[in-house]
Amino acid sequence: MLAVERSGSGSPVLCLHGWPGGVSDYRLLTPLLVDVADVVVPHLPGFGKSFSPGDELRPPSDFDRAHLVRALVELITELDLGPTVIVGYDIGITTAIALAREIPRHTRALVLGNTLAPSVTAEAVLSDRYRPEFWYQDFHQLELARQLVDGNPAAVRTYLEHFWSHWGARPDAVVDESLVEDYSRPGAFTTSINWYRSGSSSLYTALDLRGVTEFPPPVDVPATVLWGAQDPIFPPEYAAAVPDLLPRADVRVLDDVGHFTPIEAAAEMAEAVRSYL
């Protein structure tokens, strides 16, 4: 079973972290919920306490979206969680949506960061305007990524600082020293980027959706999407398409928030979660 951080009591809330991220992504949100919720924050496969030396030698497919969903279903079963509010941002978004598809009756609601609907994913990711923002997903395919970054704390810090400063509208809030330590363990950085190497990333999804006119059916569960308008990779012009994927979604654009929604908009996210409990 995945390692988890669990606190509070009440209705279950499952929080899925992003990349570059970990359970500390929810360090500000959790205290705002523990009085009414059983907050469960798993270390996703290959991250944090769910990483074991040698994981970097496993095939990337062991860390794809399907494996993450299976691991989360197993976790929900083992912990005997009732109907659950599922929270996610970054890679946690598409994982949360896939999990809601898998267990719709067990999903009380979704509370998500910037969420690209399949109807606009190819346009958003592959357009001349935004394609350069996704350079890191190409870089993660290279052996050079491991050689330059893995096991090198200085390189890990420099690499993470790029994303904190470029993706975060509130960079002082999103800096997380614990991630530098976690990602600096030999093999940990390589394992963390297996999400991208497995074909689960937004770039691979966009390439698969080129020319597609029939998309997967919508996910018919209550949802709130908090869209950080300062996110350079998922800009607010695509927020209007969210109902194509989540027809019951309340979409709120937050003007002074970037990519790291649980950190930059913890109060707004807590309010959304509490509305479903």
Q: Are 89 and 262 in contact (CB under 8 A)?
A: yes
Q: 174 CB contacts (<8 Å, ≥6 apart)? A: 164, 167, 168, 258, 260, 263, 264
Residue 195: the pLDDT is: 96
What is the per-residue pLDDT across 245-256, written as a single tens digit (0 to 9) for each? 999 999 999 999
Residue 171: the pLDDT is: 73
CB-side exposure of 177: number of CA atoms within 13 Å? 0
Residue 173: the pLDDT is: 83
Residue 170: the pLDDT is: 82
Residues of the chain with pLDDT under 70: none
Q: What is the DSSP letter of 213?
A: -
CATH superfamily of 4-274: Alpha/Beta hydrolase fold, catalytic domain (3.40.50.1820)
Residue 98: the pLDDT is: 97
The C-alpha atoms of residue 141 and residue 123 are separated, in whole angstroms, by 22
What is the per-residue pLDDT across 63-105, written as a single tens digit (0 to 9) for each? 999 999 999 999 999 999 999 999 999 999 999 999 999 999 9
User: How far lies 79's CA from each of 4, 19, 111, 256, in Å?
Assistant: 10, 25, 21, 37
Burial (0-12, 13-18, 19+ Cβ within 10 Å), 116: buried
The residue ranges of every structural domain in the chain are 4-274
The C-alpha atoms of residue 251 and residue 248 are separated, in whole angstroms, by 9
Nearest to 60, CA basis, from 146, 2, 1: 146
Residue 255: the pLDDT is: 95
Entry field: residues in the chain: 277
Nearest to 120, CA basis, from 251, 245, 249: 245
User: How far lies 120's CA from each of 33, 54, 241, 243, in Å?
Assistant: 33, 38, 7, 12
Residue 113: the pLDDT is: 98
User: How far lies 240's CA from each of 11, 92, 117, in Å?
Assistant: 30, 20, 9
The C-alpha atoms of residue 65 and residue 192 are separated, in whole angstroms, by 13
Residue 86: the pLDDT is: 98
